[in-house]
Amino acid sequence: MSSHSQAATRPLGVGILGAGPVTQAIHLPSLARLRDILEVRHIMDVDATVAESVAARVGANHSTSMDALLGDPDVDIVAICSPHQFHADQVIAACRAGKKAVLCEKPFAMSGEEAARISAVSEETGVPIIVGAMHTFDPGWLAAEANWGDLPQNVHTIRSSIVLPPNARFEDFATEIITRPAGGTPDYSDVEVIKNALRGGIMGLAIHDLPLVRRFTPDFEDLEILQARHVSPFGYVISLRSGDRIIELRAAMNKTWKPEWVFEAISDDAALRVDFTPSYVQAGSAVATITRGTGTRNATGTTYGPFEHNGYEGEWRELAQLALGTKQPPSAENLINDLTFAIAIADATVDEAAAEHTQHANSHAGAHS
């Protein structure tokens, strides 16, 4: 029979749908360090040249059809690394094909309705799904989580700050869901362009850390946007309130700063700071520091990390455990709540930016009348 009867003696087989930069620069290097447990067996891309050349690098089968990959009995785990608009249908097809575990790159889906469809199929088929929000699998973050005690109950400020270089790869990543005018600079006097840029920033970039933010504000019924600004050429400054918590989300592409990716959660007497490695970089884990007694003379900090691997490798280790059944599957409800949170912030941010734009335009017109 196929790999299933031999699974105990050979590594688990991986199949990848979509073999663009994320597959090439992120997942294949991570998988190359895990060859004893995972083996890439099938690469699918709608571009036959990409499928063939990427598959050749790892000695895998290749195809241009999703059904060929899902029908390959050597594939136990499916990773979905295609553009976001294909994610929901491909996750559902992988579950229905009876695979052992599924990794879906972020964003998991683009609407609550898609997420609910995925959740129903995951429940029906029992196939575990994880989303490639890699920071949630970073050992530095996991060590902080194991040690932060009652910080989530007492936190008043949560902050995610991302500074990335304006290199084409980072920019494409950050602006991936915007249709950019070919060859031109976007016209940021057009409110629709600003709305797209903000939604793209939240669903493409902030979304990495929104599951972390949600750990500190699980109940997000009453989101209120205090400020929402797009930063040229790419970035955002968004302040919002969730109950009595303030959330600050910032991102900037900046030529002079070194890359920085920081998450902070602060209460009256304790603070968490996590420094993550930038996306695409495979250089060990995040480093987390928890300081207690802040504001007193006796403040003490404990640092966790760096550990040997980061969240990219962490997600593959988790997938292997899920496929072998040695780890409890994560709840699909949690993934849906993470997505609902991101969509709620994106919707409210876009509304606020549009209102500010109109107000600004009106006051400008008033000044000239």
Catalog residues that contact ligand NAD under the rule CB under 6 A: 17-22, 26, 44-47, 50, 81-84, 86, 105-106, 132, 134, 173, 176, 279
What is the nearest approach in angstroms of ligand NAD to the Cβ of residue 152? 25
What is the nearest approach in angstroms of ligand NAD to the Cβ of residue 178? 12
Nearer to ligand NAD, 173 or 307 (CB): 173
Nearer to ligand NAD, 12 or 174 (CB): 174
89: three-class secondary structure by DSSP: helix
> What's the CA gap between 164 and 251, in Å, rounded?
8
Nearer to ligand NAD, 99 or 106 (CB): 106
Burial per residue of 51-82, b for 16 or more beta-carbon CB atoms within 10 angstroms, e otherwise: beebbeebebbbbeebeebbebebbbbbbbbb
Nearer to ligand NAD, 83 or 166 (CB): 83
Type of residue at 363: S
Nearer to ligand NAD, 203 or 290 (CB): 203
What is the nearest approach in angstroms of ligand NAD to the Cβ of residue 134? 5
Write down the residue that tokens 């989530």 correspond to: 152
Sheet bearing 223-230, strands edge to edge: 223-230, 235-242, 245-253, 157-164, 260-266, 270-275, 287-292, 300-304
**Residue 150 CB neighbour total at 10 angstroms:** 9
Using left for φ > 0, alpha for ψ between -120 and 50, and beta otherwise, residue 325 falls in left
What is the nearest approach in angstroms of ligand NAD to the Cβ of residue 60? 15
Nearer to ligand NAD, 61 or 279 (CB): 279
Nearer to ligand NAD, 19 or 91 (CB): 19
143: three-class secondary structure by DSSP: helix
> What's the CA gap between 210 and 192, in Å, rounded?
24
Burial of 327 (0-12, 13-18, 19+ CB in 10 A): middle
What is the nearest approach in angstroms of ligand NAD to the Cβ of residue 130? 12
Structural contact between residues 144 and 250, judged by C-beta atoms closer than 8 angstroms: no
What is the nearest approach in angstroms of ligand NAD to the Cβ of residue 207? 9
What is the nearest approach in angstroms of ligand NAD to the Cβ of residue 75? 14
